[in-house]
Structures are given as C-alpha cells and as structure tokens.
Structure 1
Amino acid sequence: MDHGEGTVCLWAPKKRMFQSMRGRSSVSSPRHLFSLGDPDAGHFEMYNPTSKMQKAGHGSLVQTHTGEWYIAHLMSRPLEGTLLNPLGRETSIQKMKWSQDGWLEMEDGSNLAKMEVKGMEGVQLSSPASHDVFDHFDDATYSVQFMTPYRNQEAGWVNTMERPGYLRIYGENSLFSQVNPALMATRATSFHYEFQTRVQFAPDHYSETAGMGLYYDSNNWLYAHLTYSELSHGTVLNVLQAKLGNRNELLQETIPVPENVIDLKLIYNSGVADIFYRMEPDGSWEVLANMVDASYLSDEGVNGQPGEIGGFTGLFNFIGSVDAHQHDSYADFDFYSVKND
C-alpha cells in the first residue's frame, strides 16, 4: 500500500498490523502517470538526504524455503545531490523479520531501505546479469530489448530483411510527435555508460533526419543526427535538443558528411552527455557537443513545475529516423552498442 508521503505500509498477516519503511523522496500514485493535481505525490519534504535509495514502495512479501522473509519493492536512485531519477523505477529487495509480538519489520529493526542485504540462506544466486546491449543486426530478428515509444514494432517501418546486416528504419513523424515516431530504444540502466552506432543516410530534404540520442518523452530528448543542408546541398551532422517542449539547436555550424555515413558515440556520465563522431570506422573521434546537461531527462525533470514529478519510465537510448517531408526516406544502422561502466 503506497501512502505517498514517504512511507510504505506492509500488511502483517499474522496480526493485521502495519510497519513502515522509509528512505524515499516522493512517489507517483498508480492512478496517474503524472503527479499534476495528485495530492498523494510529490512530497519532497520526505526526502532523506542520508539514503541513496528513494521512492521505496509497492512492496510484495516472499518467504523462502528456509523460512526467511524478504520484500521486493520499487525504488529509484537519484543523481547524487539531486532529486532527479534518470533511471526511473527500479527494483530492490529487503530482508524482513517478525518480531516476538507479531510485527513485521526490517531485519535490523530500522525503517530505512538498504542498498545491500545479506544473502539468502540455502538459495543459489545466479551471476549478476549484464545490462549491456549489443546488436550487429546480422540475424533475421533484432534484440528483444528494443522498445518503441508511442507505437508498435512492425516490419513496414523497421526490419533487418531489406538490407541484411543492417537495421533499416523508415523515417516517420517528428520526435515531438506522440503518433508513430520511428524510434528503436533501450532503457538506460546505469549512471555511466557509452552508447555507439553507425548510420548510413542520404537525405534530400531538410525535414529528413536520422541518428541517435537520449529520449525521455516527446517533449524531452537529445538527438545527434544527419540531415540535408539547403546551403551546402549535401548531408550534414547536427545536434538538436528538446527540453520541456522547446527546440534548441546546439551547434553553431553543422558538420559536412560527404559520404552519407558516420559513426556516432555518446558518453553519459551522471546526467552529463558528451557526443562524438568519426567519418571512418578506424578514425579518431571528434567532439560534436560536450558537457550537455541531460539531467532533466529524468522522472522529476520533465514537467517543469516546482515540486512536480513526471512519469516513472526513466531514460532511453535510441536510434531513429524522421521524415516530415514525404515519408519515403530510410536510414541503415550497422550496429547498436551500449556498454555500462
């Protein structure tokens, strides 16, 4: 049961009593994707600055075969020194116990959610899973980790069949649109990671683009992309940012890309993004944009209202293409790589 003011209440079935667990700043009610107008959300006065974990809530009890009790629950990890959560809702676990008088409580008797817990007795734990993503698009199907905001995945706009070894994405609506943008995205799972791709794209209109970047929702993203320049009559590289629905071009001058193919790399470091490019696969990386503030691409950074929180989807990495001209262009991506530190 989620009380929204920083307390998670757990039903104790032995005596139908409640025990609280704290260590959170705020929580969004399951009735609303956004907290605007929701009196049970956005209680930043409950922020506990001594806890790396916030928003501990929505817990489910489990008893192991050895008689131990645990609770699995949702939580978030904000960027250090902030209340911004770019990774969205994550899952944690706490060890519990029953007191002599029938209260359910945390093993150490406190009510602060912990980042680490003791191992389960007699339970063989699997090796830590890797959250890295790598797809060279050599198979008939691409990685199941890809998600597509605001639309379904269909072979008509994204596939590995038309050009084997590449993921072909047909450009569609603007990234500002909530109707059929052509994005292939994976969740960010770390505060420190490196994201790379290689894209081949031959636009013939300035409203045709293809590239990669960071994405929270249709009003908040960062996009390094190829497009057509009417000044040079050729393909160029640019960086576009959307922040709270406002459009901003980050480069004063675009970079010519005469061969219509480029490697792009984005390094994310605790809410700051550095973007690089190179024309040749074995060439040196050149800085495209550095020290870009991407911390607003987080659950609390996308509404723009003091004391408000956004959704709980977290940040995505993405590749994609836009064609607001005639919907006849496409981009070919050679690979997609996300490596977490």
Structure 2
Amino acid sequence: CAEAPQIYKHHGAYFLLLASGGTGYAHGVEVGRAETIFGPYEAHPSGEPILTSSPRHLFSLGDPDAGHFEMVNPHSVMQKAGHGSLVHTHTDEWFMAHLMARPLEGQLLNPLGREASIQRMHWTEDNWLEMEDGSNLAKMTFKGLAGVPIDNEPNTDLFDSFQEPQYLLEFMTPYRQQHQSWVSTQKRQGFLRIYGGNSLFSQMNPAIMATRATSFTYEVETLLEFQPNHYSQTAGLGLYYDSNNWLYAHVTYSEEKRCPYLTLLQAKLGQRIEYVNTRVVVPEVNIQLKIGYDHGIANVYYRLEEQETWQVLLQDLSVAYLSDEGVNGMPGEIGGFTGLFNFIGAVDAHQHQSYADFAYYKVTNHSPAS
C-alpha cells in the first residue's frame, strides 16, 4: 500500500517520497530516485523504508489497512512512524515531518490517535536521503534547529470561560457543523449554551463540543446549569471516540422521583452500558463535573454548590478501548486514527428544545510528553 506521493528535486535527481505500510504498526516512508520526473524510479539501495518505527520491513502486506501488530517495536515509545514530508531550512538543514502514534504502556492501543513528529535528515555522498544518524528508526528527540532556542515546554492546557463571543478554536463537532442555532455564547453572557441534539449513538446532529486529548494523564471539567423535565433530556461531560464508543457523565430527569439526577452512561462497541448504582439526585441547577484520565483509566467526579470537595461518581473504570485499535471489535484491525476526545454536550431526543448552559471548560494535562 503506497500513498501520498510527493516529488522533490535534489542535485539534479528526482525523488519520489511515498507513505507505505498502511496505517498500522508497519507504517513507513519509502523513497525512489530517477533521472527524469517521469521515471523509472529506483528504490533506495537499502531496500528498506528510510523512516519507520518497526525494526522489520513488511514486504507482503495482505490487507494494507490491518494493524500489523506483529510489526511493533518493543524498544520504542514511538510507533507507526510514516507518511512524511521534507523541509529544507534557510540554515541548509533537512527535516522530515511525519505521522506517528504512542500506545499505552504495555498495550497496543493508541488513545491519542495520529500525532505529528519530526526527524533530522541528511543527504549522503551518493545523493540518497536518510536520517541523520544513518538508521531508519524514528527517534523521540533530536538536535534542534540551528539558532532557534527552545525555552520551555509548550502549554497544551485548555480553558474557556465563554466571556468572549468566540469560543476556543480547538472545539470540534463530530458529525455536525458548528452553528449558533444549537451552540452559542450569545444567548447568555458568560456561558456556552448547547441545545440538545440527537442521541450520542447517532451520526445525525449530536450536540457535542469536543477537544482532542493530547496527554496520557489529564483532567477535564466543567460547570453546567440544566433543568430537564423529560427522561430523554440530558447534558454533561464525557469522553468520546465515535458514535459507538464513549463515556457520558450527565444530568437527566427521573420521572419516578420527579427530579433531576446525575448518572453515567457508556457505549462500548455499540453496546449501551448503564451504571444504575451511580445515580445521584441533583436538587440544584448548578453542578460541576470532572473526569480524570490516567493511561486508559477514568475517574468521574461531581460537586454541588454547597460541597467544598469533589465527590466520587465512579472510580477506576477502564476506558482504554477508546483508542484507534480498541473501537473496531476485530483483533488486529485499526478502527480509526482520530484518537480520543473530551466533550461537553446535550441531548434532547424528545423535542430538541431543552438546553444546558456551561460556565467554563477546562483541560489540565499532567504529562504532555509521556
């Protein structure tokens, strides 16, 4: 499986750069060289990818989109390195930006999806491109760009108090375009209002505002005001991969007790899982929700107005399946590459008229690089 062809010219020769090996653990970058742009192109003399994560080259792919778990490199944090593009700087340095993934330790599950990395490259005396150290295994670190100091680690935390008309640009909306008819900061000053959409199982107009998870250890929290009056109306905070795989801590309405309550709902490979023992009556309009994520384990908390400390809704719930490999249901397959999202959202499967007001959205990352 070869894709994403790019052609570069260097010292009079043409180089065809290809992504190869599919989207799984056999991913790599291969290169061919020709005297004319139309070829024929000869393969790199090593017969191997010039950049990859796997120490073994997969010559017969069979299914190019399979996970190829047998190609994992047990000695590397970085996996699935491939699909690169070249950069030539004004300082005459060569780099390759490429895709990669970082699985959970001891597992083959990648909750953060495809990520971007960069390697230092160079040209050999006989005009072939290779990594600067002469190997083809992508590295987690390398010597930086000449003359460009790196003073500190990037801040990947997120916070929005919805005081401005424009909310965070990091917000994404699965299966739906953002439009002020269903999500807006204009309806109430200092709040993001989300009108309830279809079920989270639906791929038609769910009302979800989501941001990508970027760390293996983080907390996401919000405060919402919500007054449901029907059991099909919900609003809350959750983790989301796709319409069949998510975790949702939410407020809804109990027709039996005639009052709102907080509960937890999960979707795993399309199966609906209700945690009936987690139900908590919510006598107030305001409630804070928080989910702590730690290497595939979720802890869910809530706090009412009169409470000084966070209360446990559910602890030590495995959500490692919310990953590129965990959502397919077929061993050895890749279910996607978008990675895990955090979200706030609302559902109104009754009349699509109820709404929730969110006072803030906050993500605190504790391990940006591991």
State the TM-score, normalizing by the size of structure 1.
0.92
- How far apart are residue 125 of structure 1 and its match? 5.1
- How far apart are residue 292 of structure 1 and its match? 0.9
- Equivalent position of 2:53 in the other structure: 23
Is 2:218 the counterpart of 1:199? no
Alignment of 1:268-287 (within 5 A): 268-280=293-305, 283-287=308-312
- Equivalent position of 1:8 in the other structure: 29
- Equivalent position of 1:182 in the other structure: 207
The secondary structure found in structure 2 opposite 1:252 is strand
CA RMSD of aligned residues (A): 2.0
Q: Work out the CA distance in 2 between the residues paired with 1:24 and 1:277.
A: 43
Is 2:164 the counterpart of 1:143? no
- Equivalent position of 1:266 in the other structure: 291
Is 2:116 the counterpart of 1:91? yes
2:51 alignment partner AA: M
1:3 alignment partner AA: S
Cα pair 2:65 2:333 within 8 Å, conserved: no
Cα displacement string for residues 32-59 of structure 1 (whole angstroms, at most 9, x for unaligned residues): xxxxx94343211111111110111111
Alignment of 1:17-96 (within 5 A): 17-18=43-44, 19-24=49-54, 38-96=63-121
Task: Give the alignment partner of residue 323 of structure 1, picking from 335, 342, 348.
Answer: 348
Q: Work out the CA distance in 1 between the residues paired with 2:306 and 2:335.
A: 39
Q: Work out the CA distance in 1 between the residues paired with 2:169 and 2:34.
A: 39
1:12/1:94 CA distance change after superposition, 3 Å: farther
- How far apart are residue 197 of structure 1 and its match? 0.2
Number of aligned residue pairs? 331
1:180 alignment partner AA: N
- How far apart are residue 101 of structure 1 and its match? 2.1
1:68/1:158 CA distance change after superposition, 3 Å: same
- Equivalent position of 1:236 in the other structure: 261
Cα displacement string for residues 159-208 of structure 1 (whole angstroms, at most 9, x for unaligned residues): 11111111110001000000000000111010011111001111111110
1:124/1:64 CA distance change after superposition, 3 Å: farther
Cα pair 2:78 2:139 within 8 Å, conserved: yes
Q: Work out the CA distance in 2 between the residues paired with 1:202 and 1:314.
A: 32
- How far apart are residue 24 of structure 1 and its match? 4.6
Q: Work out the CA distance in 2 between the residues paired with 1:244 and 1:334.
A: 32
Q: Work out the CA distance in 2 between the residues paired with 1:112 and 1:8.
A: 11
Q: Work out the CA distance in 2 between the residues paired with 1:285 and 1:114.
A: 40
- How far apart are residue 251 of structure 1 and its match? 3.7
1:162 alignment partner AA: K
> Of the two, which has the highest radius of gyration?
2
Cα displacement string for residues 17-43 of structure 1 (whole angstroms, at most 9, x for unaligned residues): 5352221599xxxxxxxxxx9434321
Residues 165-174 or 14-23, more deviating? 14-23
State the TM-score, normalizing by the size of structure 2.
0.85
Higher relative contact order (CA 8 A, sep 6+): 1
Cα pair 2:278 2:313 within 8 Å, conserved: no
The secondary structure found in structure 2 opposite 1:45 is helix
Cα pair 1:6 1:55 within 8 Å, conserved: yes
Q: Which runs of 5+ in 2 are unaligned?
A: 1-17, 36-40, 57-61
Cα pair 2:160 2:360 within 8 Å, conserved: yes
Q: Work out the CA distance in 2 between the residues paired with 1:253 and 1:276.
A: 11
Q: Work out the CA distance in 2 between the residues paired with 1:85 and 1:25.
A: 19
Task: Give the alignment partner of residue 325 of structure 2, picking from 300, 311, 330.
Answer: 300
Q: Work out the CA distance in 2 between the residues paired with 1:329 and 1:221.
A: 22
The secondary structure found in structure 1 opposite 2:170 is coil
Q: Work out the CA distance in 2 between the residues paired with 1:10 and 1:329.
A: 56
- Equivalent position of 1:157 in the other structure: 182
